[in-house]
Structure 1
């Protein structure tokens, strides 16, 4: 059946700058690094990935240069889909049970708002030659939350399920890796569907659909080979496919789109001179869509925009040169990127990094990079599940992502990282509500406004201290200064007379944590997060200040032995009311109790 959308429900789509000429290129020099490891177990971050967190705040990436393993098994509602998925030993899911040789783990927790967390994994094979892992994760919630704008409650529903199978075989000179992953996510667009004047006592009838569950499904598969670490000639060849689909479009009567992505990663490098290496990393992607290039409009109605879902290709080549000394490393390279389509473009960015040990256990580091961000439907869903399912946005061209800093662990138990950076991006995007109160349509879509050029200056510090195994303390603060300008396309819409801003992004972020282990089997942790200076944008009323996020979470865990443990989590114990996206309130307070078993 062909999809036909109600034009009234899409009256704001023109501002989105819909196009399909974009690239899903990541930093291939990291992603294809021959030192990377296969993810055999998914990462678990209880703060971000609880069922109580039905979506998460966009965050500034950590300043550290990290390896990027193949992401086969990551279950995440993370705000940053490019974050590293780290290996996690079985038995370390919710409690502090130390690593053991057992092959399986099981975690299950339940709490208020019908919050449920569950994880199950098993290493079928675990030898030097062969590793075979199967896993499954579940997150769900089904409770009522209260709007900040009016004295009304709405049910926020979420049902996330993800499972996978990963295999690795080590030959004498190379490694073969394969993986499959399936994800099913059911949720409702429960956000406030209309703008309301806070001074008005009149609550209009909600005719848009805030009850029906949208369904998003993901199928991923990878197969690849790579040379052993430190081989004289290193190589990598990795083939992948991702199928991402929505069940519905603008509402229940409308079909949703399907996005298929074919991906090829390759790398080749060779060492010479004992401490030098030259190489070439590459990536090729092809995007295929189920919907036609131009939307079909019902007879008698008109549309003032064109709706694109055309297929396209993207390619990136990254030649580089590396050299290292006794206490320093330098990488010099360039990223040359191209994508096809009606708005085809070529761009180049630096690919440079350097670090030097300036004192004992103290390193000065520098990085300057850039990329074409995908902004595909899959990427947008990973960042914000409430993104409108009927629109694709312009690719974001990051010309410079630079950072300089110094980090040190010279004092016993103490570590710090002081950093500053600058980022220049064309056609960047920031989430704002697309308020819609139309029958048979979903209500509040948290839609990315792109066609905005941004410059971001950030400075921050990250401090950590630990004393033996008794306690750990961490404190991180980041200040962001944004300058956002309209592109010519955005100006032509005449959308607003106000200067655009980095909607939804915090000006200041503070993250703090304390973990105490008074006895061997007992641990208690406190995590605090503050985000200030956030704003949203309403088409009917311009910019709106959003409440600061001021959240304190407590977790206690007790391990009876190396097999069985229990935990208790208390989230938002300050009973704060806030939204991560306008109109989408989160749970005021939630509690969860659970068990963790190793077998």
Structure 2
């Protein structure tokens, strides 16, 4: 009863206040105190809950319609103009000036002179002319050598090229001269120099002339010709002419690539090693190599063969050879792992020029013949371990007939011939022997190219030889390895290093003559060697830099070939200048 009365009083008071508020222009609220005598106490009976879920029994329920909303864009004119942003300033690196020409000169121990000049000049936007000159010489000074061991190599080349609308062409020619000594006398046979020291000096001379032609859009893609004349001061001479071209042949909507070449070689030596007759050799080969490429996803296959016809002009003999020319590659894991393999073959044209440049101590009494590489099977894996690390692992198996091997010439107790002819008959020169050789090898390569400032490379290969007539694969190593490194230390300083390892080789030499009776033959094992080299340079300005080099740093007294020791530790300093015309 009291509660109802209080509610009634509050309601009346609120109504009076509302009416009063409508009449007054200024509203004021006085503080009032309401006392609740008995608070509200709810009981359980005042609460209830829904005991079941309501259901809709109407089967004719209208489905809800889908509503589609469209926005009608109406362009509105606006005077708002965004403010232009200002790019942040970036410090530009100074552009590196590149020069087309350079000259380098260095001098060092053993009275060594090393010089190079490279020239290239742009006559017009389509024409270039240039040249190259190099010289490397040393006055020798190897310890315990009875004969002069000086040498000299000079090379001169010039070229002219032109780029036209549909093709480009280039002609070039050069001249070279090399001087060496047969200073490698066998140990224990001589206590003083035999004969005249000047007679052990021999000189190679040669010149070459050739050109190249390349088409941008034609059936014939390119072509080249080269003539080379090579000889020595012992009346030996060799001529070689090579012409090559490559072209495409369309066949039933497919394209076959093909190469064709002609290789002629002819030469003579004034006498054989026994001074009984002269040596003449010559042959011409014609070769055709068609190939077809298949590509499917990550697989690439090149199918081809080589057809070679050989005409021996001296022996009047003709032969025809067919070689496989197949290789394939498959990307197993993108650029990370690529498997490849194949089988190829070729008729290798040997020459006096190639032999003399590889081993300058050969005698001018060689018999030159081609090598029949019946097949070369290979399989390997290559790829990238990261963006800066790449690798290549490869296995090879060669089957070669008539392979040329260097072998030490005999030591003749009473040489016959002129003074110039007998100077390579003291066991201080090399000849050639031919044999059928099967070679198995495993090679590995790792290249680290972090950036332009640091590169590092490793190479290594193991060989196993199986000969037919010869007891050993003379002068062929069982292991080879190399390391290369280049470092840009700072903007001015740069450096590099290299090291070579060559395993054991074997050679055989005989002591013959009427004073000896039966020939005395010895098989000699040449020790393996390790040759380390390094260089350091400083860039004075954009054009001038100085350098220092050191070769055979470990001062190894090794023999590259039997009885031919090399120079010990060598030092050289010099400068390089870059310029433009």
Instruction: Determine if the TM-score, normalized by the shorter chain, exceeds 0.5.
Output: yes
1:419 Cα deviation from its structure 2 partner = 1.0
Partner Cα separation in structure 2 for residue 389 and residue 273 of structure 1: 54
Query: SS of 2:139's equivalent?
Result: strand
Q: 2:327 aligns with which of 349, 353, 356?
A: 353
CA shift, 1:559, in A, is: 1.4
CA distance in 2 between partners of 1:190 and 1:134 (Å): 34
Take 1:348 and 1:270, find their aligned partners in 2: how far apart are those partners?
20
Q: Give me the whole-angstrom Cα distance separating, in 1, the residues matched to 2:108 and 2:238.
A: 35
Whose relative contact order is higher, 1 or 2, with alpha carbons under 8 Å and at least 6 apart? 1
Corresponding residue to 1:263 among 215, 239, 242: 242
Seen in structure 2, the aligned counterparts of structure 1 residues 241 and 367 have a Cα distance that, compared at 3 Å, is: same
1:166 counterpart = 2:159: yes
CA separation in 2, counterparts of 1:113 and 1:291? 33
Summarize deviations over 1:559-592 as a string: whole Å, max 9, x none: 1222111111111111111111111111111001
**CA distance in structure 2 between the aligned counterparts of 1:314 and 1:102, rounded to whole angstroms:** 43
- Cα deviation for residue 180 of structure 1 reads 0.7
Q: Structure 1 residues 441-450 or 571-580, which shifts more?
A: 441-450
Shift of 1:271: 6.0
CA distance in 1, matches of 2:97, 2:406: 43
1:309 to 275, 280, 285: 280
Matching of residues 400-419 of structure 1 within 5 Å: 400-419=375-394
Partner of residue 279, structure 1: 257
> Given the superposition, is the C-alpha separation of residues 206 and 541 from structure 1 closer, same or farther in structure 2, using an over 3 Å criterion?
same
Q: Equivalences for 1:90-109 in 2 at 5 Å? A: 100-109=97-106
Equivalent pair of 2:392/2:445 in contact (CA under 8 Å): yes
Aligned to 2:150, what secondary structure does the other structure show?
strand
- Give me the whole-angstrom Cα distance separating, in 2, the residues matched to 1:446 and 1:426: 25
Is the counterpart of residue 576 in structure 1 residue 556 in structure 2? yes
- Residues 560, 157 of structure 1: alpha-carbon distance in 2 compared, 3 angstrom cutoff: same
Asked if the contact 1:568/1:593 (under 8 Å) is kept, the reply is yes
What does residue 368 of structure 1 align with?
343
Deviation at 1:379, TM superposition (A): 1.7
Q: 3-state DSSP class of the match of 1:391?
A: coil
Is contact 1:234-1:270 (8 Å) kept?
no
Instruction: Check conservation: 2:269, 2:364, Cα contact below 8 A.
Output: no
Normalised by the size of structure 2, how large is the TM-score? 0.74
Q: Residues 472 and 134 of structure 1: is their aligned pair in 2 closer, same or farther, counting only changes over 3 Å?
A: closer
User: Counterpart of 2:183?
Assistant: 190
Q: Counterparts of 1:541 and 1:290 in 2: how far apart (Å)?
A: 29
Counterpart contact for 1:476–1:511, Cα < 8 Å? yes
Cross-structure match for 1:175: 168
Work out which of the residue numbers 520, 530, 539 in structure 2 matches 1:550: 530
Q: CA deviation at 1:408?
A: 1.2
C-alpha distance in 2 between matches for 1:187 and 1:244: 16
Contact 1:189–1:211 (Cα < 8 Å) also in 2: no
Residues 414/290 of structure 1: CA separation in 2 closer, same or farther (3 Å cut): closer
Q: TM-score, normalised by structure 1?
A: 0.72
Residues 266-313 of structure 1, C-alpha deviation per residue, up to 9 Å, x if partnerless?
A: 222146799x53132111123333668xx699xxx994xx64314432
Tell whether the 8 Å contact from 2:183 to 2:200 is kept in structure 1 after alignment.
no
Structure 1 residues 288 and 479: CA distance shift in structure 2, 3 A: closer
* Correspondence 1:426 to 2:401: yes
Deviations 1:132-191 (A, max 9, x none): 211111111111213xxxx44543121111111112212222222211111111222222
Give 3-state SS (helix, strand or coil) of 2:227's partner: strand
Structure 1 partner of 2:138:
141
Matches within 5 A, 1:194-343: 194=186, 196=188, 203=191, 206-207=194-195, 209=197, 212-228=200-216, 231=217, 233-248=219-234, 256-270=235-249, 277-289=255-267, 303=276, 307-325=278-296, 327-341=298-312, 342=315, 343=317
**Equivalent pair of 2:405/2:434 in contact (CA under 8 Å):** no
State the alpha-carbon separation in 2 of the partners of residues 474 and 548 from structure 1. 21
Structure number, greater radius of gyration: 2
Structure 1 residue 246, shift from structure 2 partner: 1.0
Contact 1:168-1:177 within 8 A present in 2 as well: yes
Within the candidate set 499, 509, 525, 2:496 is matched to 525
Distance of aligned partners of 1:364 and 1:528 in 2 relative to their CA distance in 1, 3 Å threshold: same
Give the aligned partner of residue 589 of structure 1: 569
Contact 1:434 1:445 in 2 (8 A): yes
Q: Per-residue deviation at 1:364?
A: 2.0
Instruction: Tell whether the 8 Å contact from 2:272 to 2:365 is kept in structure 1 after alignment.
Output: no
Q: How far off its partner does 1:381 sit?
A: 1.5
Q: Trace 1:472-483 onto structure 2 (pairs within 5 A).
A: 472-483=455-466
Unpaired runs of 5+ in structure 1?
1-97, 249-255, 487-498
Partners of 1:351 and 1:554 in 2: CA distance: 41
Closer, same or farther: CA 119–145 of 1 in aligned 2, 3 Å: same
Tell me how far apart the structure 1 counterparts of residues 311 and 351 of structure 2 sit (CA, whole Å): 15
Q: Tell me how far 1:340 sits from its aligned partner.
A: 1.6
Structure 1 residues 273 and 413, CA, compared in 2 at 3 Å: closer, same or farther? farther
Mark the CA change 1:280 to 1:141 in structure 2 (over 3 Å): closer, same or farther. same
> Partner residue of 1:507?
478
| RMSD (Å), alpha carbons | 2.7
Number of residue pairs matched by the alignment: 464
Structure-2 change in CA distance of 1:456 and 1:402 (3 Å): same
Q: Deviations along 1:464-494, whole A, 9 cap, x unmatched?
A: 22333453332222111111111xxxxxxxx
Unaligned runs of 5+ in 2: 1-94, 511-519
Of 355-364 and 450-459, the range deviating more from structure 2: 355-364
In structure 1, what is the Cα distance between the partners aligned to 2:137 and 2:260? 38
Q: Is 1:432–1:581's contact at 8 Å kept on the other side of the alignment? A: no
Q: Is the 8 A contact 2:268 2:279 kept in 1?
A: no
